[in-house]
């Protein structure tokens, strides 16, 4: 019985490679695109031909040329470089915002489901109240009161988005919280936080993942929209939403350059959702795995 000879388990790296190979084409495409975005964002200063705020041409709205591949913007800055630096700002801000809102929303949602009663009622009504105000108007209002710094922007969007995570995690956790293994954990003397993170969270993760992918895209669009409206990320920081706005005049002249940042946003949204869909299929197909 002792020292049962077991074949060495494949290392995590091999497992990961095998996993990626088994992914469907859409997921592979999504991963490739997401990786490319991440690469560009990380190494922006090395890739971009010019600096982020560097005025390189005296000609604003210059056309595409060998020197300036995508032309220049309204101040004569290199459009391609702005696009590359924009990836850095837009993605990192959206990512941080998503993580914060996911953490707050899920923890509170599971906590409310576990504790129930008065606490649940209070939290849920606060969330209802927050959700009843149209997002964009609410954000505009808060930002105009507190000022449009990046920290304020991230926090306000994170809190508003966390209401969505709260609702979905609370509803899903309610179903799981009535199962015997949660009761068994209570009888074992575990605290609410431990139960939420270890017993409930893994079981509602598939549902939350799908929401996570979608919310990441919405946050991205929200930030872009706010920048477009002029209250989001302030100049001279490059940001895709504001780049569309600043160069919108070009569209009238039949130039598609301002649409490139918009297309970049759309492509990332599609790619992220392809990956999330695949993760979702895998996570919910738990029992079929060998």
46 scored as a contact of other proteins (CB under 8 A): no
The one among 187, 252, 253, 254 contacting other proteins by CB under 8 A: 187
251-290 mask for other proteins (x: CB under 8 A)? -----------------------------------xxx-x
10 scored as a contact of other proteins (CB under 8 A): no
Give Cβ neighbours of residue 220 (< 8 Å, ≥ 6 apart).
Answer: 90, 91, 94, 265, 268, 269
Backbone Cα Rg of the chain: 23
- Gap between the Cα atoms of 11 and 73, Å rounded: 50
1 scored as a contact of other proteins (CB under 8 A): yes
Which residue, among 90, 94, 53, 92, has the nearest Cα to 75 in the 3D structure? 53
Phi, psi of 55 (to 5 degrees): -85, 115
The one among 116, 181, 248, 263 contacting other proteins by CB under 8 A: 181
The one among 11, 180, 253, 254 contacting other proteins by CB under 8 A: 180
The one among 78, 199, 211, 246 contacting other proteins by CB under 8 A: 199
184 scored as a contact of other proteins (CB under 8 A): yes
Give Cβ neighbours of residue 55 (< 8 Å, ≥ 6 apart).
Answer: 75, 76, 77
Q: Which is nearer to other proteins, 128 or 183 (CB)?
A: 183
190 scored as a contact of other proteins (CB under 8 A): yes
Coil vs helix vs strand at 215: helix
Which residue, among 40, 114, 226, has the nearest Cα to 234 in the 3D structure? 226
Instruction: Select from 110-118, 126-134, 175-183, 219-227 the region that touches other proteins (CB under 8 A).
Output: 175-183
- In the complex, the residues that contact other proteins under the rule CB under 8 A are 1, 4, 6, 179-181, 183-184, 186-190, 198-199, 202-203, 286-288, 290
């Amino acid at each position: 019985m002792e020292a049962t000879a077991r074949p060495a388990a494949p290392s995590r790296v091999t497992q990961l490679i095998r996993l990626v190979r088994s992914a469907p084409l859409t997921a592979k495409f999504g991963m490739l695109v997401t990786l490319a975005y991440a690469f560009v964002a990380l190494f922006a200063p090395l890739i971009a031909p010019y600096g982020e705020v560097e005025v390189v041409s005296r000609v604003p709205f210059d056309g595409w040329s060998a020197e300036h591949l995508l032309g220049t913007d309204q101040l004569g800055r290199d459009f391609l470089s702005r696009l590359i630096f924009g990836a850095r700002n837009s993605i990192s801000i959206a990512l941080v915002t998503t993580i914060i809102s996911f953490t707050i929303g899920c923890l509170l949602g599971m906590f409310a489901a576990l504790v129930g009663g008065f606490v649940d009622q209070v939290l849920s009504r606060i969330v209802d109240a927050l959700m009843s105000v149209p997002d964009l108007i609410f954000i505009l209002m808060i930002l105009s009161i507190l000022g449009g710094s990046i920290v304020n922007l991230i926090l306000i969007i994170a809190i508003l988005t966390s209401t969505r995570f709260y609702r979905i995690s609370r509803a899903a956790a309610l179903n799981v919280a009535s199962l015997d293994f949660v009761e068994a954990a209570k009888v074992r003397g575990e605290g609410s936080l431990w139960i939420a993170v270890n017993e409930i969270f893994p079981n509602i993760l598939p549902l939350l993942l799908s929401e996570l992918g979608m919310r990441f895209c919405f946050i991205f669009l929200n930030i872009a929209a706010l920048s477009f409206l002029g209250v989001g990320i302030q100049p001279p920081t490059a940001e895709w939403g504001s780049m569309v706005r600043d160069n919108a005049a070009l569209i009238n002249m039949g130039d598609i350059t301002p649409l490139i940042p918009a297309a970049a946003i759309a492509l990332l949204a599609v790619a992220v959702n392809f990956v999330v869909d695949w993760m979702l299929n895998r996570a919910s197909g738990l029992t079929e795995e060998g």
